[in-house]
Structure 1
Amino acid sequence: MDYKDYIPYGCQSIDEDDIVSVCSVLRSDWLTTGPKVSEFEQAIANYVGARYAVAVSSGTAALHCAMYALGIGPGDEVIMPPITFAATANCVCYMGGRPVFADVEPDTLLINPDDVEKQITPKTKAIIAVDYAGQPCDYDKLQVLAKKYGLALVADGCHALGAKYKGKKVGSLADLTVFSFHPVKHITTGEGGAIVTDNEELAERMRKFRNHGISLDAQQREKIGSWFYEIEELGYNYRITDIQCALGISQLKKLPVFLKRRREIARQYDLAFKDIKEIFPLTVKKNILHAYHLYVVRLNSKLAGMDRKDLFQKLRKKGIGVNVHYIPVHLHPFYRRKFGYGLGLCPVAEDAYEEILSLPIFPGMGDGDVERVVEAVKNSLSFKYKRRYYARANNNS
């Protein structure tokens, strides 16, 4: 598909199979807390290689459930990187805990395990590793740290469904792994999320938490013919509907095709920007299978003669929906005010923020869309590499 006027940085891919799947639920007896929820959970668990999956209403809800399951509370600290969406840190605040930020590696923008260890105190209860852009973190080092200090290891895999670390899928590398099914992610349920784990007790705590802390949900009560339930803990309404799960089941079947296309687009970008010193993609480490939720480049402002804001505005005027992921969390007003955080806390992340730009990448992009993005970037930087790019693309097709 070619986007003539505007190419967004991300977009869902919906086909007739998805529509049929959703319509079948609309004609059924269960619209929520029904059989499609457990079917979707089993499909996700099977895909990533985990024993249990708990589906919820959003990726943020999934993070909150994970913190609840681990018993995070007032006075507890949880270490995470600052280059992430704020929900990664917000979920700790919801529980009364304190987010602690460890800096990132300059080439990948993934959490730096060496800095993680520097941040560990007697109050530390968990580490949240963010698989930024779709690249898994260094789970070998993080697992060693978690075991050494008796910490829970949580993977924020919202960018990384389908990614692998040394042959193992994200979802099988941490005590708990969180996914998001927002429309720009690898598969979508409209809004939605899930947590996967091998720990039955944690899974059960999260199932109750998503449903007000109720001991038995509606489907369970229906099966045993009982009206009786109890509120065992204070929970939330984080339920996901059967309508959403029907879409998710259909989408998951197409995930291999979606991932293949994302990787193809990333290779095209890699080739196009290979010899341009003014702009360069993040490093992909060895033994990694990247999921490419985002394709992030860094701008060398001195060589380019412009800053990131200039390039952002030029590309937006050309109809290229670039974005920035993310403002470092510790620089948001709430975190400055609540915890006293500010500039200088994570210098690598802060420097990177001034340079990063996310280019469009999603399965519905055609080769013409990719070429349009590349040409817009080069023209914005005043480069004349059009013929060279086309020659390389043709030689590699």
Structure 2
Amino acid sequence: MYTLYRISTNSLDKHVTDEFLPLCRPATDENDINALIDVVRSGWITTGPKNAALEKEISQLTGAPHVVALSSATAGMHLVLKALNIGPGDEVITPSLTWVSTANMICLAGAKPVFVDVDPNTLMVSSEQIEPLINKNTKLIIPVHYAGAALELDAIYDLAKKYDIPVVEDAAHALGAEYKGKPIGARGTCLFSLHAIKNISAGEGGLLTTFDAKIADAVRRLKFHGLGVDAFDRKEQGRSPQAEVIEPGFKYNLPDICAVLALGQLNRIDAITEKRRVLVEHYSHLLSTVSGITPLSIPSYPHKHCHHLMIVKVDPTEFGVDRNDLIELLKQRNIGSGIHFRPIHQQKYYRENYVTLYGEPNTNLNHTELVGSQICSLPLFPDMSLGDVERVVEAIKDIASKNEK
């Protein structure tokens, strides 16, 4: 069902210009644009048939029996926390090296985010790092698939089973990734992002996949005012247009004008992933001779990487400048780069309020703090050419040569 399109040689080898090379760009094509126009012309631009089709396609891709499309992965996190009744007095274990939305949602639920350290080479958490943080107040574990690599899921789920604690996988980076031959989303509960920078983008959007019907029902209900049905449900299923509010809910549904963009890319997901793999492989080969620039390690357990981000660690003692200076110097050369992510516990709000709100934090975050000062994301998107990769690496080498100790 998911077609592997041949990667065009011309696409890989096209002429490189000195124009600004962004950090990322959506993988949309003319067919996606035409499909979007069709949705606008249809008169049904909010949650409708394209939304339903997207949920069905994701269910077929992952094997998850329940899929709910949402306005963002952050919305999904909010609703899952509510569905699991996470609240005051509860603790949720998650890495500090992730996007702030996870910790924000935990805090807004009234619970305590407990930050766990990461492997300095993969930037992902392990069961060995999580277990010492578990106590009687631990009600949820949220591990993060990072940069397109898959977590070591077996050990994490075994740990969760041992302590009878649910797991919600943050799979914002992992749509198209696999673990031991099965797609991410093929077990438990996962949250995927469809943000503009993701491998499959709806502009904005998110997806919940789950094997828990109660979680799915709660999220589906809460995403639309607590009604449990949206306008399309009522139109197609003959439900009363005056459906009752079962509980107070939110407005987190995904419009069809977003869903249709993701649908088109989803049909090309294998080709998108393969193009990213080729680009990352070229990066890794060229960077292997650059002292002080180290790409993330690939986990040794069986998995399929979907290469969401091309992240390198910058060692200023070897490279000559630190990560922040490298970003600025690349910008001066018309090349975009970025940081994924600054540690949450070092963000202003959490620096200033964590102890007051929650008591002493986990102080064993040494790896997080070190790599948090080193990581830099380089341009990576399917429309790039091998020549674009070479341009970035040559710029890095030029910066290094001008800053040799």
TM-score range with shorter-chain normalisation?
Answer: over 0.9
Question: How many Å apart are 1:274 and its aligned residue?
Answer: 1.7
Of residues 328, 344, 353, the one that matches 2:343 is 328
Residue 399 of structure 2 aligns with which residue? 380
My pick for the range that moved more, 271-280 or 150-159, is 271-280
CA distance in 2, matches of 1:178, 1:225: 29
RMSD of equivalent CA atoms: 1.8
Q: What is residue 4 of structure 1 aligned with on the other side? A: 18
Could you give the per-residue CA deviations for residues 194-246 of structure 1, whole angstroms, max 9, x where no partner exists? 11011122111100111011143223333325233121122110011111111
Matched, 1:123 2:123: no
Q: Does 1:284 align with 2:298?
A: yes
Give the residue type in structure 2 aligned to 1:284: I
The residue number in structure 2 matching 1:351 is 370
For the pair 1:264 / 2:283, whether they are aligned, the reply is no
- The answer to whether the Cα contact below 8 Å between 2:114 and 2:361 also exists between their aligned partners in 1 is no
Go from structure 1 to structure 2 and tell me whether the alpha carbon gap of 1:343 and 1:316 turns closer, same or farther (over 3 Å shift): farther
2:201 to 188, 208, 211: 188
Question: What's the CA shift string for 1:294-329, capped at 9, x where partnerless?
Answer: 111111221223222222221111111111111101
Q: Secondary structure at the match of 1:310?
A: helix
Residue 275 of structure 1, CA deviation: 3.0
Identify which of 63, 67, 71 aligns with 1:57. 71
| Counterpart check, 1:136 vs 2:136 | no
Write the distance in 1 (CA, Å) between the matches of 2:186 and 2:352.
37
- Report SS of the residue matched to 2:284: helix
**In 2: Cα distance, 1:13 partner to 1:7 partner:** 15
Question: Which of 39, 42, 46 is matched with 1:25 structurally?
Answer: 39
Name the residue aligned to 2:95. 81
- In structure 2, the partner of 1:389 is none
Counterpart amino acid of 1:308? R
> Are 2:222 and 2:228, in contact at CA under 8 Å, matched by a contact in 1?
no
1:226 paired residue number: 240
Q: Is the 8 A contact 1:129 1:155 kept in 2?
A: yes
Query: How many angstroms apart in 2 are the aligned matches of 1:377 and 1:342?
Result: 37
Determine if contact 1:107/1:282 at 8 Å carries over to the other structure.
yes
Paired residue for 2:329? Answer: 314
1:98 aligns with 2:117: no
Equivalent residue in structure 2 for 1:209, among 213, 222, 237: 222
Structure 1 unaligned regions, length at least 5: 384-397
SS, match of residue 152 in structure 1? coil
Shift in Å, 1:277: 3.3
Counterpart residue number, 2:3: none
TM-score by length of 1: 0.92
**Structure 1 residues 348 and 227, CA gap change in structure 2 (3 angstroms):** same
Does the alignment pair 1:157 with 2:176? no
Q: How many angstroms does 1:130 deviate by?
A: 0.6
Q: Which residue, out of 388, 391, 394, partners 1:369?
A: 388
Indicate if the aligned counterparts of 2:31 and 2:264 stay in contact, CA closer than 8 A. yes
Query: Does residue 148 of structure 1 match 2:162?
Result: yes
1:83-140 superposed Cα distances (whole Å, 9 cap, x missing partner): 1110121121222111110100111110132121111111111111111111111111
Per the TM alignment, residue 160 of structure 1 is displaced from its structure 2 partner at its CA by 0.9
Q: Classify the secondary structure of the residue corresponding to 1:320.
A: coil
SS at match of 1:53: strand
How far did residue 276 of structure 1 move? 2.9
Deviations 1:242-298 (A, max 9, x none): 111112211211111111111001100111112333211111012121111111111
TM score, norm. by length of structure 2: 0.91
Q: Which runs of 4+ in 1 moved over 6 A?
A: none
Contact 1:221/1:228 (CA < 8 Å) preserved in 2? no
CA distance in 2, matches of 1:220, 1:146: 36
Whether 1:297 aligns to 2:312 is yes
| Count, aligned residues | 383
**Alpha-carbon distance in structure 2 between the residues aligned to 1:221 and 1:13:** 33
Q: CA deviation at 1:364?
A: 0.8
- Could you tell which deviates more after superposition, 88-97 or 264-273? 88-97
CA distance in 1, matches of 2:186, 2:209: 8
Task: Tell me how far 1:342 sits from its aligned partner.
Answer: 7.3
Q: Distance in 2 between matches of 1:73 and 1:3?
A: 53
Corresponding residue SS for 1:78: strand
CA distance in 2, matches of 1:302, 1:239: 48
Structure 2 counterpart of 1:166: 180
